[in-house]
Structure 1
Amino acid sequence: MYARRNLEFNDTEFSGRSDYGPFIAVGIPAGGLFTGAEGVKSEEQAALYAGLADVAYDPCYHSFCDNLTGDGQDDAVYDALSAHYDLAGNVNTEALDVNSDVIASAILTLAYDTSTVNGVKPRR
């Protein structure tokens, strides 16, 4: 999906540290998108994906400023980020649109066939 839109992407560790961990633990296939969280963006990633190096991917991750209004956010950081992204509060609306499409595509794909994650061929 990203390649069809000529967007850069990379794989990341699927560690089980999030909400999907309990599903995997009982054999339910799981997948997901990682869009940053509290990790810090490198110079290379900023060059590839835009944004700011040495700043958290999501400076408001799981905090009060994680909202659509901008309340509580670091204005200097978000003023700089707004030069790269279309923001509603701390939400990158273009990333939300693209990633929503990617998630929908993954759900539809796995609704028909989970063999890529669990090796079980679909019943026909």
Structure 2
Amino acid sequence: MIYLDHAATTPVPKAVADAMYTVLTEQYANPNAQYPFGQEMRRSVEDWRAVIAKAVGCEANQLFFTSCGTEGDNWAIRAACWQNRHVGRHIVTTAVEHHAVLNCCQQLEQEG
């Protein structure tokens, strides 16, 4: 099989999958919890955030994790609209855009 939809999902490198497996099965604590297991996870998340921020060239406090692409798309579109609310009230997109983008734009249209 030849998979051509890498815009939707991509294969995860084995090293990444192995690291994720460990976190998902052994280090699954809530990083916002006050107990030691949670605080340990918070430190790990902040360490990972710093590594990724350095790789993409931003400050760690400028990097946010979302649960999925749809959440990220919605957050980015709504933030752009909010930041530019005094400039205008128009968003230009296409009918072939991903549903996460189209649905967000349609919701914003309904909101005025």
Per residue, is there more helix in 1 or in 2?
Answer: 2
TM-score, normalization by structure 1? 0.25
With a CA cutoff of 8 Å and minimum separation of 6, indicate the structure with the bigger relative contact order: 1
Q: Which entry has the higher C-alpha Rg, 1 or 2?
A: 2
